[in-house]
Amino acid sequence: MDHFTLPPAFKSPSPEILHKIEEAIQSFSVITDVPVTFFNTNGEIQWECHRQSKFCNFFDVYKDPRSVCSKNLASSAKLATQLGEPYVFVCKAGLVKIAVSLILNGQVAGCFMAGPIIMGGLKESIITNVFSLNNIHFDSYPKIILFLRSMKIFKPKEVSHLASLLGSCVLASITHNEDYASINSQYKEQKRIGENLQRYKKENKTMPYPYELENQLIESVKDGDTNKSLSLLKKLLGELSLIEVGDVTSIKTKVLGICTILSRIAAEKSSLSQEQTESYFYDMNMLNQAVSFQELSILASNLIENISQVIASSSYSGKSQIIKQAIQNINENYKNRISLKTVADYLHTNPSYLSVLFKQEMGMTFTDYLNQTRINKSCELLANTGINLIDVSMQSGFDDQSYFSKVFKKMKGITPKDYRKVNAK
């Protein structure tokens, strides 16, 4: 059987798309035992699948472009295109066929014809029509009758299901789905990591533990920045996979350690409900039972996402979804230039309304909360790092060190420098 191709005059899609179409139609044909033929826009046979089960191939009239068969196929293909869905029709011999038009980039590329098949039962009229349409030699009678009687008989409802299935096969092959593409991308990423593992193993290379990446992940989760946390986790898992040469047990031990730290931080920063506590316990237990790197990655991502979101909303226990989202946005973007207006635009709401609602729900203004978030972050940097005050102010979201010191002293009662002397570890 030739590979599925399109006519030279048609602007062909990528080889990947053509392969997906061929693979889908072959799967349909093998599992249903129904032959499928692809005709180009001129009514010429371009590709056949399961050809040995195709009854039409017994007869020359089927391939004659001037015959009643060709005209019947052409009109059915046209109708399938106009309908935009599978079209079930009865050929001149009384056998059933299913037409599904192939449309790519707004251009009709041809039509898939499934069949012929027998619907309901092998009627005497079908045999009569077959012989009347074709100039059949007497010696061929037994062979043709036996072939007809060996064909599978489908009920009308089954034919309807076949039509839906064929249409879905064609549509799924040419339609890009972001969700499945994302999953497939993750699979390819894991495959790439596996190949890197083998290469590093052969070269006997050693890699240092990515402490910096781990610290960035912990800080990101503490900030409630879910998207950044998940991105950092993905990088960390990739490096751990290389360091441990794919040993899932060793990788799992390190990931469980990180998740334990983060769970404790979540408990300290927020008042966890019984349900949340049980959820963490369940997620950690599931993570501990992971048997593959992919499973470990998915479970760790889910746990990190949950912890990050709990921390992000820990300063608010009200019921307003707008304020919850506003707080999450602040926690994720406090290092950037954000304002009441930018957050309001993000939430598609009026700045004045957000200002009033924020003060009402939080007991402080938007600006005060933003500054409080930035100052709390600066306290962590002052206590845990030795970076200079300019960098502390920048990493906390303040553009001006003087303004940072002023706000810090107002909120904490002492200067950033004095705070570091008292709290530095």
Tell me, what's the pLDDT at 339? 92
Helices 340-347 and 351-362, packing angle to 10 deg: 100
Sign of the CA dihedral with 297 first, then 301, 302, and 307 last: positive
Domains of the chain: 15-175 (3.30.450), 179-312 (no CATH), 321-423 (1.10.10.60)
> Is 112's pLDDT higher than 90?
yes
Mean predicted lDDT score pLDDT of the chain: 81
Q: What is the pLDDT of residue 7?
A: 60
What torsion, rounded to 10 degrees, do the Cα atoms 124, 126, 132, 137 define?
-80
Reported confidence tier of residue 271, pLDDT bands at 50, 70, 90: low
Per residue in 219-230, pLDDT tens? Answer: 888 877 777 888
Where is pLDDT greater, at 157 or 8?
157
233-267 tens-digit pLDDT: 999 988 888 887 778 888 888 888 888 888 887 77
| Whole-number Å distance between alpha carbons of 368 and 359 | 10
CA–CA distance, 372 with 177 (Å, rounded to integer): 42
More confident residue, 70 or 275: 70
Question: In sequence order, what E strands does 132-230 have?
Answer: 153-154
User: Tokens 């935009």 map to which residue?
Assistant: 84
Q: How far apart are CA 221 and CA 227, in angstroms?
A: 9
Per DSSP, the chain holds a count of helices (H) and strands (E) of 18, 6
Res. 186: pLDDT tops 60: no
Span 278-304, average pLDDT: 82
Residue 423 scores a pLDDT above 70: yes
Q: Coil, strand, or helix at residue 171?
A: helix
DSSP secondary structure letters along 148-166: HHHSPEE-HHHHHHHHHHH
**CA torsion angle for 70, 74, 80, 86 (degrees, to 10)?**
20
At 241 the pLDDT is 84
Q: Average of pLDDT values for 183-205? A: 59
Which three-class secondary structure state does DSSP give residue 271? Answer: coil
The pLDDT, as a whole number, for residue 405 is 92
Return the pLDDT at 425: 64
Give the pLDDT score at 404: 92
Question: What pLDDT was estimated at residue 331?
Answer: 83
Categorize the per-residue pLDDT at 415 as very low, low, confident or very high, splitting at 50, 70 and 90.
very high
Residue in the block written with tokens 């109708």: 79
Contact 226, 258 (CB under 8 A): no
Give the residue-averaged pLDDT of 364-371. Answer: 91
The CA dihedral of 172, 177, 183, 188, to the nearest 10 degrees, is 80
Mean pLDDT value across residues 353-364: 87
d(C-alpha 311, C-alpha 77), whole Å:
59
User: Which pairs with CB-CB distance under 8 Å and at least 24 residues apart come from 331-337?
Assistant: 331/223, 331/224, 331/225, 331/373, 332/223, 332/224, 332/225, 332/226, 332/227, 332/228, 334/223, 334/370, 334/373, 334/374, 334/377, 334/396, 334/397, 335/395, 335/396, 335/397, 336/397, 337/399
pLDDT of residue 149: 85
pLDDT in tens, 22-57: 899 999 999 999 999 998 888 888 888 888 888 887
